[in-house]
Chains A and B, each alone.
Chain A
Amino acid sequence: MQKRISTLPFKGTPEQEARLLAAIEAHRADPGAVMPVLQEAQEIYGYLPEEVQQIVAEGLNISMQEVYGVATFYSMFTLTPKGENHISVCLGTACYVKGAGDIIDKISQRLGIAAEECTEDGRFSLTACRCIGACGLAPVLTVNDEVYGRLTVDDVDTILAKYQS
């Protein structure tokens, strides 16, 4: 799967940028600095939008293309922001055969975003994850740190309502 690129406006703060510049400074002399710097950048911003990758490219004096190539090669890097509420739907084998596919489709439809996207207001983001080790509760999803199990598509609205207020 190719990574989705966020189209939401960048909301970085001067404090975040200062932290990123410090991280770049700390790694500047390291060979292969782009990996650890991108990791720190993702910790600071939650994701790696164009604006952030540009700071990394300038700071390490490498091309934007190289930064982007690394960011899209490794699965741990994401180009979309996390919402205030991050929904993770397990698509592991057990959950999948128990209908997790229908559940993620329903959430996607309700929020108007696809997997690996964030709503425009920044309230929700959605991701498909692999087995979280709760197969007994299949199908299962998490919202932030809350786990919801033995779901049907009819549970989706109730769960979303809890976080929409």
Chain B
Amino acid sequence: MRLRAPLSAGAGLAALLASVAVAVTFGPADISTGDVWGSVAAHLGLGGDGATVTPLRDGIVWNLRMPRTLLAAVCGAGLAVCGTVMQSLLRNPLADPFVLGVSSGASTGAVAVVVLGAGGGVVSLSAGAFLGALLSFALVLLIGHTSGGGTDRVVLSGVAAMQLFSALTSFIVMTSADAETTRGVLFWLLGSLTGADWGQLLFCAAVLAVVLAVCLGHARTLDAFAFGDEAAAGLGIRVARTRLILLSATALLTAALVSCVGAIGFVGLVLPHATRLLTGSGHARLLPAVALTGAVFLVWVDTAARTLLDPREVPVGVVTSLIGVPAFVAVLHRGRRRT
């Protein structure tokens, strides 16, 4: 039974807010929900003079856990939305935000900056990753376009780009990196929210807001792709133009997220499938819903990643896959029963 739209939207938002508020209290330092509210209220100027919270605790909440938890929410939402759009647009249930080689391009860019010192110290790891991601996406579009432009060609070009940039990354790491740098790069490649700060959060949130608006504006158009490009064209959709806009928008968002937190796998692949079971396939409902489920999911996964093996941290990408694979199998089984 599908839930009523306003009800489920309200419940989803409430779940997200509650998740963030509770997740922030988890961690080695003992922080209460009261500390969280005190700190947040003080920083937002909502009364509370901060006197109730010690500066140390305030620092942990406001400078460490809050941006990290919110960035997890933004990344979860963004990856899930990108995955949904890619799957619908490319008519491929295995498509995810990284299917067009964006993550491997980002890795190469990051590694080039960290290991080779490309950019002369001016360009940060994030900026290098962002440029690498966009370069890879441009390459995929170029190959896809020159080879005919169909969805299969685009997916195959993405696979080719993924291989190419993975090889380049390995090559650079093997030939130039010392053990210490390799470990740092590897951690980032698997996805990590360790370095989250307010700057990253605002950047990612702004890109998410723009891209989500673009995708919602194309919700009906995405519905029309259900029976393929030809059918969409018959419904008045300018297929090539729409595909370019939506692929570019999702690639931009993916690049922004990957440049901040690395390639966090599985969220963009699994959450769209799981959410479709709740909302149906209409994108006007699916897109906001998948943003919420993705956000809640990654908030909890990151909380698990930073607390399970305390004081050590598990890369969040490892946890998403460890949780995601069984969840995916469950989704596949449910799907089999439905048809």
Tell whether A pairs with B: no
Seen from chain A, the residues whose Cβ lies within 8 Å of a Cβ on chain B are none
